[in-house]
A and B are shown apart, each in its own frame.
Chain A
Amino acid sequence: MVDAVQRYDRVCSILDEAAAGSEENYGGLGSFWQGGTAKLKDAVVFGVPMVASRAENSGLIKGLRGEAPFDGGRFPRLPWGGKQVSEADIVFIAEWIDDGCPEDAVQIDAYLEAEVQPALEAVAQPAEQKTCCATANYVIQEHEFGLFDGGVNAFAFGQTEVRQRANIDLLPEKQIDELRDAMRQIMDLNDSAHDRRSFKNQALIHQNHCQHGWERFLPWHRAYIYEFEENLRDFNSNVMMPYWDWTMAQYKPSTPDLGWRIPNALKAYLTTDQAKWLVGALHPAPTKAQRSKILELAELRTLFRTQSCFLELLYNTIGYTHVTPDPKNENRCRVIKALMASNPLWYPLRYPGVYFNKDGKLSTINDVIHYHYPTADDIRQIMSLNNFRDFGGGSMYNDSYGFLDQNPHNTMHIWTGGFNPYYTRDSYKKDDTSTRAPQNTAQSKRVYYSDDDLFSQPPNGDMFSNLTASYDPVFWPVHSNVDRLWWQWQQNNPHGSPQDLDAVLTPWSYTVRDTQSIEPFGYEYVRGAYLMPVGYAAPIGRFVSKEIPVPEGMAEFSRAEVRLHRVPVLTESCIIRVFLNDPAADVSTAVEGNPHFAGYVSIFSHGECIGGPGHCAIPNPRPGDQRERPHNTPRNHRIDVTQAARRMLEDSKTLRVTLVVLGAGDDVILKTEGVTLTFLD
């Protein structure tokens, strides 16, 4: 018997049959296979395209077969909440995909179907299927949830939740790259003089309006960072301005000359593309050996604090000597261009931690500037100040510096600016002390971010002066950290505020009062966070994360939290217990005296709806909807796991989160968009 049907219809019926009874809506897509081939081809479920050019790469096929990421790690096998599809049917669908998802009708040979199917089914029988609890509708699979690599801000709920500014030294490279891209985009706007979002126009705001030396310092800069960050987010809404905690161990605050001096993310390096460009552009051309050494710098991603670190290496180690400190030296200009193009967070007019004394000898910030690099102990002292005037400044301009403003803030400007070692030196050759006349361009004559300016040899780095500081991208992580310290101080001093709360912060319309809380600005500070997407598709009776590597710097948190994001109102009340590094924990695992037990949260459910029609089915609020949120609005929960996390990290460099759901009935389950492990300072 041969029926003439469209292959697509057959695909639908296979999937419909398997999914029968499931209410899963796949992150809002619903039954994505229905509604035409075009819709199916475009369907993306939680970031996974369902149909790729080849069947074996298609999410749908991987999902139906239970292959990663549908192996229970991130997601369960497709269809969720339904029955497993036979391998013969999967092969049918796979062939259809490999054929380009045609809509033509074909003859399906029922004979063939009958003959092949039993043999293939035997193969596809699952070897072992662990189940933890059954519901009327579906089997809840137990699986390990892996980390989302895009950062918490990038995840779907990141757009609606409090956004996170994280520690720049603990931020994954991928997110640093996103920041770099966004920076590059607003730097690209520099040619559009009238676009207020351009990097130059943003920097100009500081030159013209900045507030220091009194109580408006902190409020003004809180608004400034926020505005700048929003401009970045125009181009990539995942980007938030990270903060630089300059007291971390790698900066060796007591002997800062021996430390990193500046976060690695802001140091110079060559990308392969830029290295290739550079070796082609240098004139005269470098030798083959020199070329390969330059390319090797890119391969190894060698980091340089300053331009001269790079140029001295180029001259003395690589042996390319056609380069001098002269601002007009073309090869030097090419090097700077390549480094800037490689990392827009690097800035040529920046000499962190470089100081010369009156005799021209290399010295220290302590001896030359009579300021010292701030230590964690210094910050503790400042955080213990009991009034805003001492902490953040008083009401008299420039006479009422707060300690946070004066040092560390001023110090970090001076530290990152530094002295230009080639202000008058005329050669990169080691031990060659020949000099040239200093180049002194008046600040008023500078054209910021012009070639002339970027290639110049000023006496100090731009961070040294408040008129130029904001042209150096390090300005932002420094001030983000200052803002973080203020926010932390505010937690402990809820009554500490500036005197003149009505003062307007030009060029914006914020008043000082508007800046007294970061809540309206919608961000928070975290040391770092790890997200494990779950999705409503995967109701869980038990959640086990994969191993989360916790780097050394991260482990110095003051608080650790497990957060459950957007938990919809459940039908049954339950208790969620959190265990760390005990993937086998279940409802019978002891709580008292168990070092793995980290905490719990009780979730109060709505129960069976006995309200009128629509009581539990209120449409989602529209933008501008001022009514109260409906009672079924998903909620977030946070569980303090600080003590257990500290205990676990004594012997381990990784953490695994296990959530165990306890309730009165057998079918108690938890639904959540995702789980994060968050570390706070």
Chain B
Amino acid sequence: MNATYKIHPAIGIARLGNSPDAFYLGPETAGALPTECDELGNPKFSPDGKTPVTVKKFKDAKGRIKRQAARFQVWVYDEEEQKGRPLKIGDPIEGGGNKGTLVAIQWRVHMANKKASWYQFEQLQGEHGYSPDHPLRNPDVTGAARSRLIIDPGARIVDSRDNRRASLDRSGDGVVTTTFPGPLTPLSIDKLGDLIVDDEARLLVLGGHGHSGTEKTGPGNPSIQNYANNDGWFDDTGDGPVMARLVMFSEEVQRLRFVDVEYPAWVLTGYPSYVPEILDIITMDEAMEDMFVREMAYDTEIYGRVDSFKDPDKIDSADPEALRFWRRDRLEWNPNYCPGFYADIWSILFRPNEFNYLTLILQASNYPHAQETRGTFNPADLSRPPSVRTNADANAIEAKVAKLTEHLGHYAEYLVKGPSAGPGKRISDPFKPMRMFLYDLLRLPDEENEFRKSGKVNSRLHNLPLMPLLAGDNPITNELPSKFLRLTERQLFLLKQWADGKFYNDLDRMPDGYNPFRPFPGPAPKTGRALDKGVLGKILGGAFCPGGEVGWIMRNPAIYIEPYRIKPDLQFSTFRMTAARASSLSGAVPPEEYSAYQDQTLSLKNDFDNGLQPGDLTKYMSCPWQADFNECSTQTIDVTYEGWNNIYTQGNSLLADEQMSWETLWWPAHRPMQVQMKLNGNAQPVIVNWASGIQQTAAGDLKMVTDWWRLSFVVDNPDLPATEKYVASPPVDKYIGVEQSYGKGDGK
């Protein structure tokens, strides 16, 4: 086995902050707090030298949000460590026909923001290709001038030796020419981020400062009219490839040699993670894994050809022909797959109750997701798989049935005896009805537009709203409506197996110290893949309208070269001088000083066959991001008819009488509604509006452009002891908002 070198995470997330210099390291496990680092990006450890110090202050002294760095690291996969290990300076490496000692790592990053040059976001239109007449953003700008709508700072190269910092800024660092919009109102954009290499040759990518503005001037400007599309506007999010080149000293020839990692990684910038410890109902990790499993043969033990599960297929997901052939086969979920309750089921079921702490609707009304002993979500009950019992005392059992029949009717016999498991034996599965109740309430594929369970008039499920009761990919227009969020097929399959009793109780297999009432964060990632997944764990995985950090483009298999790895357009992702050429020069020309002939500008179109360019993941998102972020709090969804989000009742009172709607949450773990907060120095928190004073309107969107940084971070309440908050029935202030900066300066 040749050694291969890969960057992990395959997709990293940097987050905006208006603090000019302060930053911390993004979490690498779903639900973990970010960690502190020094100004060179080196993580800080507690006195034991091992435990990273988590962030206590998300804002600087002036109340400005610190940026969150995306950290990338090169991993090596070889005979010794087939699951990979982080590569360290001084390690022996090989590649391209050379071997030597790793002396440095060069990193190349090219981010861009293509939002203003892209199509208007119109819900799901475009997910399967844009129609030729799909409207563009900034349609008045035509022809070659549209390239100017792309914010392109060009590529920057840093290394682990004497060139450890660079800015993706307007200056071009004297190496490249850049494209930035002119003066903007209210805030101009001069950079998309910064690069820093830490002492262990890892790369940190910092995003922008949250500057958004419009080029339009004059009366009425700046103005935001739409949650997603606003001509003239730019923001400083972005995305692009992250490439690494390993520099080795070859002892045998006494010269430097170079070799590139297998594929680039990708960095994207999103808005701050205001609620770092609470997971969305669908994380990006889950959304992507679902697609990889179904489309890219990522896990053929769980999903594959009919009857193939005893000897699962091994399909090379990077081989399009093999994959296409596999997809054309009869594929199914493995009917005998047994999920572990705590690892696979509870990690989903735990989440809805956490939303209690983010919205008043849940917190102040009822507790449908209660996890206490008599609650619908009591893990002690839900985790008990069916067991086979011997009918030792038939009389006692019959007596028990007789006693319970009075209250439960025919249910009693089933509950006590369960299905027969052969002569003298029975299957005891007393909690199956409880599991089935939860599963039956789940929204299944093709039920995205159904609000309530109907057609079961004698069932207690009848007329109950389907879950999750969150807004879907399009609750807005009548074009491709998709009103409500549905769990991924993989999540639903796992839950189905569980509901059917095909699962096991894995409590004793969970990591040391696991507490069902604090399932997140899990342990720090030990493999490159775990790191990929961990980082995606706090990126929104649905609904995509357009979403949080990135949207439905992420569930398009065409953009991946293999699971988790974005397929790059090599023209914009590789070092312009090949590693072989760098080797022939033995490094005499530093890559950052090497200026290459470029015959292409960033594209105004998609070319998935050729790979993605800088800016091709975030361009679908709202412009500026603050507009959608502000408005995606709750959504009034018309639930009158499945096929219509909008009905027109004028002159039709009968239709008007029929009309029903439901005020639906979007994604509280990304954009909270109400939170507990200690106000005016009071020790006892009270529930308040999180974005107080910012209306859910277009006018509010404009306020969000200037005030997003004042909002509080919602964290696990440090004042409560673990014994009080990590329990089945925690207090209402389990999470509290901190560091709100209302009235604290102007953010500059």
Interface residues of A (CB under 8 A from B): 213, 366-367, 369-372, 374, 377-382, 384-387, 389-390, 393-394, 396, 398-403, 405-408, 410, 495
Contacts of A410 in B (CB 8 A): 584
Nearest opposing residue in chain B for A494, CB measure = B321
Binary A-proximity of B557-600 (CB < 8 A = 1, otherwise 0): 00000000000001000101111110110100000001011000
Additional pairs, 19, CB under 8 Å, beyond known A399-B576, A400-B576: A366-B253, A370-B253, A372-B253, A380-B2, A381-B97, A382-B96, A384-B2, A390-B96, A393-B578, A399-B594, A401-B578, A401-B580, A402-B580, A403-B579, A403-B583, A406-B580, A407-B96, A407-B584, A410-B584
Q: A213-B581, A400-B577 are in contact. Are A408 and B97 (CB under 8 A)?
A: yes
Given A366, A372, A385, A399, which contacts B96 in the complex, CB threshold below 8 Å?
A: A385
Asked if residues A399 and B581 are in contact (CB atoms below 8 Å), the reply is yes
Interface residue? B95 (CB, 8 A): yes
In this complex, the member of A379, A393, A394 whose beta carbon has the largest number of chain B beta carbons within 10 angstroms is A394
Binary A-proximity of B232-272 (CB < 8 A = 1, otherwise 0): 00000000000000000010111100001011000000000
Binary A-proximity of B77-112 (CB < 8 A = 1, otherwise 0): 000000000000000001111100000000000000
Contacts of B689 in A (CB 8 A): none
Nearest opposing residue in chain B for A371, CB measure = B253
- Count A-B pairs with CB separation below 8 Å: 87
A403 to B574, CA, bound (A): 15
We find that the number of chain B residues with CB closer than 8 angstroms to chain A is: 30
Contacts of B580 in A (CB 8 A): 390, 393, 401-403, 405-407
A387 to B250, CA, bound (A): 24
Binary A-proximity of B432-457 (CB < 8 A = 1, otherwise 0): 00000000000000000000000000
A63 to B586, CA, bound (A): 69
Min Cβ gap B260→A in Å is 6
Contacts of B576 in A (CB 8 A): 396, 399-400
Given B255, B577, B586, which contacts A399 in the complex, CB threshold below 8 Å?
A: B577
Asked if residues A366 and B578 are in contact (CB atoms below 8 Å), the reply is no
Asked if residues A390 and B97 are in contact (CB atoms below 8 Å), the reply is no
Asked if residues A401 and B581 are in contact (CB atoms below 8 Å), the reply is yes
Contacts of A369 in B (CB 8 A): 253
Asked if residues B570 and A389 are in contact (CB atoms below 8 Å), the reply is yes
Asked if residues A389 and B578 are in contact (CB atoms below 8 Å), the reply is yes
Asked if residues B577 and A387 are in contact (CB atoms below 8 Å), the reply is no
Contacts of B94 in A (CB 8 A): 377, 381
Contacts of B697 in A (CB 8 A): none
10 nearest A-B residue pairs (beta carbon): A378-B97, A406-B580, A401-B580, A401-B581, A403-B96, A370-B253, A370-B255, A403-B580, A400-B578, A384-B2
Given A398, A399, A401, A407, which contacts B98 in the complex, CB threshold below 8 Å?
A: A407
Interface residue? B4 (CB, 8 A): yes
Q: DSSP majority for the A interface?
A: loop
Min Cβ gap A378→B in Å is 3
Nearest opposing residue in chain A for B589, CB measure = A399
Min Cβ gap A665→B in Å is 39
Contacts of A398 in B (CB 8 A): 581
A398 to B577, CA, bound (A): 9
Given B96, B250, B597, which contacts A396 in the complex, CB threshold below 8 Å?
A: B597
Beta-carbon contacts under 8 Å, B593-648 to A: 594, 596-597
Asked if residues B254 and A370 are in contact (CB atoms below 8 Å), the reply is yes
A370 to B252, CA, bound (A): 8
Asked if residues B583 and A407 are in contact (CB atoms below 8 Å), the reply is yes
Asked if residues B586 and A370 are in contact (CB atoms below 8 Å), the reply is yes
Asked if residues B570 and A396 are in contact (CB atoms below 8 Å), the reply is no
Min Cβ gap A488→B in Å is 15
Asked if residues A400 and B581 are in contact (CB atoms below 8 Å), the reply is yes
Contacts of A385 in B (CB 8 A): 96
A381 to B2, CA, bound (A): 6
Given B4, B262, B583, which contacts A406 in the complex, CB threshold below 8 Å?
A: B583
Q: A381-B2, A381-B96, A385-B96 are in contact. Are A390 and B579 (CB under 8 A)?
A: yes
Min Cβ gap B685→A in Å is 54
Asked if residues B574 and A379 are in contact (CB atoms below 8 Å), the reply is no
Contacts of A372 in B (CB 8 A): 98, 250, 252-253
Asked if residues B578 and A399 are in contact (CB atoms below 8 Å), the reply is yes
A495 to B611, CA, bound (A): 13
In this complex, the member of A366, A371, A399 whose beta carbon has the largest number of chain B beta carbons within 10 angstroms is A399
Q: A381-B2, A406-B583 are in contact. Are A386 and B263 (CB under 8 A)?
A: yes
Asked if residues A390 and B260 are in contact (CB atoms below 8 Å), the reply is yes
In this complex, the member of A379, A403, A407, A410 whose beta carbon has the largest number of chain B beta carbons within 10 angstroms is A403
Min Cβ gap A437→B in Å is 32
Contacts of B581 in A (CB 8 A): 213, 398-401, 406
A401 to B597, CA, bound (A): 15
A396 to B598, CA, bound (A): 9
Contacts of A401 in B (CB 8 A): 578, 580-581, 584
A387 to B264, CA, bound (A): 12
Contacts of B255 in A (CB 8 A): 370
A401 to B578, CA, bound (A): 6
What are 7 sample pairs from A and B whose C-beta atoms fall under 8 A apart?
A370-B255, A382-B96, A384-B2, A386-B263, A399-B594, A400-B577, A400-B578
Contacts of B570 in A (CB 8 A): 387, 389
Nearest opposing residue in chain A for B95, CB measure = A381
In this complex, the member of B98, B576, B578, B581 whose beta carbon has the largest number of chain A beta carbons within 10 angstroms is B578
A385 to B574, CA, bound (A): 14
Nearest opposing residue in chain A for B582, CB measure = A401
A495 to B252, CA, bound (A): 35
Contacts of A399 in B (CB 8 A): 576-578, 581, 594, 596-597
Min Cβ gap A408→B in Å is 7
Min Cβ gap A402→B in Å is 6
Min Cβ gap A56→B in Å is 61
Binary A-proximity of B706-738 (CB < 8 A = 1, otherwise 0): 000000000000000000000000000000000
Contacts of B320 in A (CB 8 A): 495
Asked if residues A389 and B2 are in contact (CB atoms below 8 Å), the reply is no
Contacts of A382 in B (CB 8 A): 96-97
Contacts of A377 in B (CB 8 A): 94
Asked if residues B584 and A406 are in contact (CB atoms below 8 Å), the reply is yes
Asked if residues A366 and B252 are in contact (CB atoms below 8 Å), the reply is yes
A382 to B97, CA, bound (A): 6
Given B4, B253, B574, B583, which contacts A384 in the complex, CB threshold below 8 Å?
A: B4
A401 to B577, CA, bound (A): 8
Asked if residues A378 and B98 are in contact (CB atoms below 8 Å), the reply is yes
Min Cβ gap A486→B in Å is 14
Asked if residues B96 and A386 are in contact (CB atoms below 8 Å), the reply is no
Contacts of B96 in A (CB 8 A): 381-382, 385, 390, 403, 407
A400 to B585, CA, bound (A): 12
Nearest opposing residue in chain A for B594, CB measure = A399
A52 to B250, CA, bound (A): 67
Contacts of A400 in B (CB 8 A): 576-578, 581
Contacts of B95 in A (CB 8 A): 381
A394 to B578, CA, bound (A): 8
In this complex, the member of B95, B97, B98, B255 whose beta carbon has the largest number of chain A beta carbons within 10 angstroms is B97
Contacts of B583 in A (CB 8 A): 403, 406-407
Min Cβ gap A173→B in Å is 32
Min Cβ gap B361→A in Å is 51
Contacts of B262 in A (CB 8 A): 386
